[in-house]
Amino acid sequence: MNNADESKLEQVLHRELRELPDLRAPATLAPRVLAALAARHRAPWWKKSWVDWPPGLRVAFLSLSLLVTGGLVYLGLQVPHVVGATALAGEVSATFTGWYASVEPYVSFVTRLTGALELVLKAAPASLWWGLAAVVGLAYATCIGLGTLGYRVAFNRM
Amino acid sequence: MSDEHNFEAFMAAYQDMVFTTAMRLLGNSAEAQDISQEVFIKAYDRFAELSQSKTAGGWLKTVARNLCLNHLTRYRARWTFFSDLKRDDADDDNDFDVPADDTQSDDAELADKRQLLETALQKLPPAHRVPLVLYHFEDLSYEEIAARLKLSLAKVKTDIHRGREALRKKLKLDLEGELSGTVGAQAVRFQAGEAQT
């Protein structure tokens, strides 16, 4: 099809498509919408979006949230003064040291394993990587092929 | 009249348009109904404003279109992948009716032709139908469609071209009269018998 034909097809189809009348909505649509709205009305206030909460509750919630947040910030600022900065640092350090001692064997194992893998990677020839890439590609293509076949069989689209 | 009744009247006035927009983009009646429901629930939240607005129809159409495109984007990987698979069989979930205009034979023929075109459009693969619908029904430019669907301009043009070609073939659309300029308004002929096979 040349450009003139393409342009003509576009014009003709555009005209024909634009002349199509609207489809008729299923009779169940309006009752569905009304039922969904009724269910939303029936839902308790705490299940609705915050903007739909009763105004008094919104004000109370906002005030309470501000109080809690302010309180937490205030307490956070007061802790170093109450405990003492040096004592706090010592506590944190002791906690961390104790925690690290429990995971240290695992960290050491992972470090050694990573080192060994690094040696293997450096020693492996390039052909090995190409081979691995080919295997992965083949496996991926097989998955796609089987998926397509499954789709066609399942939906009878052979 | 109560707000509830006003909203029902509002829905009755616009439900066909909203459903049609969703149906043509999604090609699936159940999904189109879900989207239509979502559109009207959003409309209900703004009903005080919309009921006074002269552009309520445009607002509803835009919301329907955006919700459909969001829905399609969510399932992009699936419909893009399967878009190249041939889709020959009939998909019978289109439980909508195309209203017949009149009882006269010419009008019946026109209604048949429209039904054929509507059905053919619904049966296009999503990758072809969606850009075609956005171009011809939603008046978006190729560039706007490419941006909205996050596709390249060339891909959009190719998909629309393929969609048109598929419609032409399915409907046995005869452009000769139009191209030669020798036939008038009835130049486009739908050979209904062949198109149904």
**Domain range annotation of chain A:** 125-158
CB contact under 8 A, A28 and B33: yes
Q: Report which of B29, B40, B47, B46 is spatially closest to residue B64, judged by C-alpha positions.
A: B40
CA distance linking residue A78 with residue B53, whole number of Å? 56
**Interface ipTM above 0.95:** no
- A16 CB near a chain B CB, below 8 Å? yes
Alpha-carbon Rg for chain B, nearest whole angstrom, is 19
Question: In this structure, which amino acid lies at residue A54?
Answer: P
Mean pLDDT of A150-155: 78
Q: What is the pLDDT of residue B68?
A: 94
CB contact under 8 A, A157 and B117: no
**According to DSSP H, which parts of chain B are helical?**
3-26, 29-45, 47-50, 56-74, 76-82, 105-122, 126-136, 142-149, 153-171, 176-180, 192-196
CA B129, B135, B139, B145 dihedral sign is positive
Mean pLDDT of B5-29: 93
CB contact under 8 A, B118 and A23: yes
Q: Is the pLDDT of residue A9 over 90?
A: no
Residue in B12, B85, B95 nearest the CB of A157? B85
Tokens representing A76?
């956070």
CB contact under 8 A, A25 and B164: no
pTM exceeding the 0.80 threshold for the entire prediction:
no
CA distance linking residue A125 with residue B131, whole number of Å? 48
pLDDT in tens, B48-100: 999 888 899 999 999 999 999 999 887 765 555 455 444 444 444 444 444 44
CA atoms within 13 A on the CB side of A128: 6
Size of interface A-B (CB pairs under 8 A): 109
CB contact under 8 A, A24 and B88: no
Domains of chain B: 1-81 (1.10.1740.10), 106-197 (1.10.10.10)
Candidates A2, A18, A20, partner chain B, best to mutate (most B CBs within 10 A): A20
pLDDT in tens, B86-116: 444 444 444 444 444 445 567 777 778 888 8
Burial tier of A21 (Cβ tally within 10 Å: 0-12, 13-18, 19+): middle
CA distance linking residue B47 with residue B40, whole number of Å? 9
Q: Report which of B112, B128, B131 is spatially closest to residue B165, judged by C-alpha positions.
A: B128
pLDDT in tens, B19-28: 999 999 999 9
CA distance to partner chain B, nearest, from residue A62 (Å) = 23
- A41 CB near a chain B CB, below 8 Å? no
Q: What is the pLDDT of residue A2?
A: 73
Q: Is the pLDDT of residue B31 over 50?
A: yes
Which residue bears the tokens 């070609």?
Answer: B165
CA atoms within 13 A on the CB side of B172: 10
Q: Is the pLDDT of residue B182 over 90?
A: no
Question: In this structure, which amino acid lies at residue B85?
Answer: L
Contact B196, A41 (CB under 8 A): no
Chain B residues in contact with A37 by the CB 8 A cut-off are 41, 44
CA distance linking residue A36 with residue B194, whole number of Å? 44
Please, which residues have CB within 8 angstroms of residue B2's CB and are 6 or more apart in sequence?
none
A23-27, A75-79, B5-9: which is most confident: A23-27
Chain A residues in contact with B37 by the CB 8 A cut-off are 29, 32-33, 36
| Other CB atoms within 10 Å distance of the CB of residue A129 | 11
CA distance linking residue B87 with residue B124, whole number of Å? 8
Q: What is the pLDDT of residue B113?
A: 81
Pick from A81-95, A113-127, A136-150, B44-58: least confident: A81-95
CB contact under 8 A, A24 and B99: yes
Quick check: helix, strand or coil at residue A55?
helix
Q: Is the pLDDT of residue B141 over 90?
A: yes
Residue in A8, A32, A151 nearest the CB of B33? A32
